[in-house]
Chain A
Amino acid sequence: MRKDGKKIPDASEGDGEAPPNELRTVSRRALITGAAATAGSVMTVGAARGLGIEQSSLDPTRVPGERPVEVGSRSPFETPGKQLSGSAGGSSRTPHHELHGILTPADLHFERHHHGIPQIDPTQYRLLIHGMVDRPTLFTLDDLKRFPQVARLHFIECSGNGGAGSRTDANPRMSPQAMDGLLSTSEWSGVALATLFEEVGAHSDATWFLAEGSDAAVMSRSIPMEKAWDDAMIAYGQNGEAIRPEQGYPARLFLPGWEGNTSVKWVRRLELSDRPFMSREETSKYSDPILGGKARLFSFVMDAKSLITYPVYPDRLTSSGFVEISGYAWTGRGVIDRVEISTDGGGTWADAVLQEPVLPKCTTRFRYAWDWDGRPAHLMSRAIDETGYIQPTLEQITDVRGPGTRYHYNSIRGWRVNSNGSVEFQPPA
């Protein structure tokens, strides 16, 4: 029996599945008000002391807990959000400094569209594979799901990520989200592209394929066939659920380790050919001007990069002593071998600890125990990948590519810790 004399409803009185009617219809507000009245009879509201917390009427041990709901939501106290930009096609950035581990919640995954997010009815979805194949074929979404599935953890990063931090006049009041927010990590599931290309009988002399999306930009990119035989997939799952509309629902191309734009979302067509198509997105955009009057084409692979996500702007350290410097490192060329940390502006470097799992073409969380003496410090991280590539400084990059080069902004980022504990972006000198 409850205090109010009512009989505690027994699940057996209902259908055994749904919560009893009485509880189901009681609103949260009513529960809280009722509980406050009850609690008030036991203790004076707000009067108790101890533990350094308020012993309020909302003591969760004295209020019946919430009922489960069909789709959960974050604690109302946690309000991470994507940072939206004004770009015409649409883009948003992942709040790295508010995340733990390596996975990006799907609703905080970055976006970069060239003409918004299409709404696609999955029953009307078709993937057409044609060109240099024996059997031009149309696949429905159900067809795609019948093939053997692959599921892997991978990062995806826009090759324009980090542009704002790769300037000598960069704004010091820039969070990792503002600077490098066009990076996210998910578990992607789908069908290996090799499986589909086998199925349609890809010709041995096909060297490229065009991937085309069904967004308003009809995004199109040319991809070398090697990538299809290597690790490309048509993904329809993200972090355990159907891919979100912003990430290409119902299906997208996914090219592990390559610049994000090539992983064409809402993919509707793959055309096999013996030459690249030279689309606008691989010539006018996503090509990298380099010194000597040239521009690099098809600069697909994302080189090693690392990003400290704590402590960074807008954090403020409250006292000297132990500070765990943490962040992630990633490379499109395989696995991260090492991450080094400097707290003295690049004078000395020491190894960070890599947190398992350390996976190929995936972000790897790193941690470094730092004893802050309360004096100004200059924090940096640099990633070293399995090929021996060492994340360069901005100066190293502009020396070889030129100050006006675009895309692939993977230079070492730096964070100045001031003696008052405030942190600001400051790249290596």
Chain B
Amino acid sequence: MRSSSRYGLRAHHLAVFVSALFSVWACGVNEGGPEDPGEPTLSWTNPGSSAAPFPSGQGGRYGFGSPASVTDIAVWDIDISPNGAGLPSGGSTVTEGLKVYQKKCMACHGPTGTEGPFDVLAGRVPGDEFQFAEDRSLRSTVGSYWPFATTLFDYTRRAMPFDFPGSLSDEEVYGVVGAMLFLNDLLPEDAVVDSATVAEIIMPARDRFIPDDRTGGPIIR
């Protein structure tokens, strides 16, 4: 943990907030940023209540809430990480996936994933250039913009098809993910799709993303 200064840290943040509020209301005029609250003190007061005491429960905790079991967690723990963590077992094929796509996706995303009426899913740019900032007419697609195929699995399973969200079996999700990758020329038509396929495929846009470098101050980025 942020260890010994855990409460101190919180005290510090609350103090910043309280002092900011105070300086604004008290002075009437805003003269720049919040004042430095100085050394954090151990006895903090909560801005919402008068003199909230330290938690009196066991181990310095309030003791509210109940333990979540492994079973509880499993019901909701659906996210997939870029390294493939969270991908279920099993798999499917592009061929099977195209059948699911035609039945459950095509009406909204078009026969080849390019026709709409909703989000354009397929399409690559020659040389996989990434000129979205230069050319505002470019539409971002799975093949041209998405950095990870794991995201495609995660999103499709949680949110699609739009009219029956969350209704696909894991096998169907593997299939349509394969179909979308095929429609973007990222998998051959006879490919098998499983956790290894989804975790290992290198998406054309993978290295296009950089951290936010805006910092405030006079420079416009």
Chain A residues packing against B (C-beta within 8 Å): 88, 114-115, 128-130, 135-140, 143, 146-152, 189, 192, 194-195, 198-204, 210, 212, 216-218, 220, 229-231, 268-269, 271, 273, 275, 277-280, 283-284, 287, 289-301, 303, 333-337, 354, 356-360, 385-390, 392, 396-397, 400-406
B78 partner, pick from A150, A218, A386, A390, beta carbons under 8 A: A218
B interface residues, tally (CB under 8 Å): 80
B79 partner, pick from A114, A195, A212, beta carbons under 8 A: A212
B210 partner, pick from A210, A220, A284, A294, beta carbons under 8 A: A294
B166 within 8 A of A: yes
Interface centre among B46, B68, B134, B165 (most CB of A within 10 A): B68
CB within 8 Å for A210 and B79 given contacts A229-B10, A300-B212, A388-B218: yes
Is the pair B165, A115 in contact by a Cβ cutoff of 8 Å?
Answer: yes
Interface segment among B95-103, B138-146, B178-186: the answer is: B138-146
CA distance A293 to B66 in the complex (A): 48
B90 within 8 A of A: no
Is the pair B212, A298 in contact by a Cβ cutoff of 8 Å?
Answer: yes
Is the pair B220, A218 in contact by a Cβ cutoff of 8 Å?
Answer: no
Contacts of A152 in B (CB 8 A): 17, 47
B150 partner, pick from A217, A278, A385, A388, beta carbons under 8 A: A278
Kindly report which residue of chain A lies nearest to residue B128, judged by CB atoms: A293
A271 partner, pick from B7, B79, B137, B142, beta carbons under 8 A: B79
Is the pair B209, A201 in contact by a Cβ cutoff of 8 Å?
Answer: no
CB within 8 Å for A303 and B30 given contacts A146-B62, A199-B64: no
Kindly report which residue of chain A lies nearest to residue B60, judged by CB atoms: A198
Contacts of B7 in A (CB 8 A): 198
A–B Cβ pairs within 8 angstroms, 21 of them? A88-B118, A136-B68, A136-B72, A146-B62, A194-B9, A195-B10, A198-B10, A199-B62, A203-B1, A220-B158, A273-B81, A284-B142, A284-B146, A291-B133, A294-B208, A298-B211, A301-B212, A301-B214, A334-B34, A359-B21, A401-B221
Contacts of A88 in B (CB 8 A): 118, 162
Contacts of A290 in B (CB 8 A): 133
Is the pair A279, B154 in contact by a Cβ cutoff of 8 Å?
Answer: yes
Kindly report which residue of chain A lies nearest to residue B7, judged by CB atoms: A198
Per the 8 Å Cβ criterion, residues 184-199 of B in contact with A are none
Is the pair B162, A115 in contact by a Cβ cutoff of 8 Å?
Answer: yes
B67 within 8 A of A: yes
CB within 8 Å for A283 and B216 given contacts A220-B79, A278-B81, A293-B208: no
Minimum C-beta distance from A363 to chain B (A): 14
* Given A136-B67, A138-B67, 18 extra CB contacts under 8 A: A88-B162, A115-B165, A139-B65, A146-B64, A147-B64, A148-B52, A192-B10, A194-B10, A212-B76, A216-B166, A220-B154, A296-B211, A335-B33, A356-B28, A359-B24, A388-B218, A389-B216, A404-B133
CA distance A298 to B215 in the complex (A): 13
CA distance A192 to B10 in the complex (A): 10
Is the pair B165, A279 in contact by a Cβ cutoff of 8 Å?
Answer: no
Is the pair A199, B65 in contact by a Cβ cutoff of 8 Å?
Answer: yes
B159 within 8 A of A: yes
Is the pair A404, B138 in contact by a Cβ cutoff of 8 Å?
Answer: yes
Contacts of B61 in A (CB 8 A): 198-199
Question: Nearest 9 pairs between A and B by C-beta?
Answer: A402-B133, A387-B216, A289-B132, A404-B136, A149-B48, A280-B155, A218-B158, A289-B133, A136-B68
CA distance A140 to B218 in the complex (A): 45
Kindly report which residue of chain A lies nearest to residue B203, judged by CB atoms: A283
B30 partner, pick from A271, A291, A354, beta carbons under 8 A: A354
Is the pair A397, B212 in contact by a Cβ cutoff of 8 Å?
Answer: no
Is the pair B17, A216 in contact by a Cβ cutoff of 8 Å?
Answer: no
CB within 8 Å for A216 and B159 given contacts A139-B65, A198-B6, A204-B1: yes
B68 partner, pick from A138, A230, A396, beta carbons under 8 A: A138
Interface centre among B145, B159, B210 (most CB of A within 10 A): B159
Minimum C-beta distance from A311 to chain B (A): 26
Q: Indicate with 1 or 0, residue by residue over B41-67, a CB within 8 angstroms of chain A CB atoms.
A: 000001111001001000001101111
B200 within 8 A of A: no
Minimum C-beta distance from A329 to chain B (A): 11
Is the pair A404, B218 in contact by a Cβ cutoff of 8 Å?
Answer: no
Contacts of B166 in A (CB 8 A): 216, 218
A151 partner, pick from B47, B72, B140, B212, beta carbons under 8 A: B47
Kindly report which residue of chain A lies nearest to residue B31, judged by CB atoms: A337
Per the 8 Å Cβ criterion, residues 108-123 of B in contact with A are 118
Q: Indicate with 1 or 0, residue by residue over B152-175, a CB within 8 angstroms of chain A CB atoms.
A: 001100110010011000000000
Is the pair B159, A279 in contact by a Cβ cutoff of 8 Å?
Answer: no
B147 within 8 A of A: yes
Minimum C-beta distance from B180 to chain A (A): 12
Contacts of A397 in B (CB 8 A): 220
CA distance A271 to B81 in the complex (A): 12
CA distance A67 to B156 in the complex (A): 54
Contacts of B216 in A (CB 8 A): 301, 303, 333, 385, 387-389
Kindly report which residue of chain A lies nearest to residue B86, judged by CB atoms: A277
CB within 8 Å for A204 and B65 given contacts A289-B133, A404-B138: no
Kindly report which residue of chain A lies nearest to residue B133, judged by CB atoms: A402
Minimum C-beta distance from A270 to chain B (A): 11
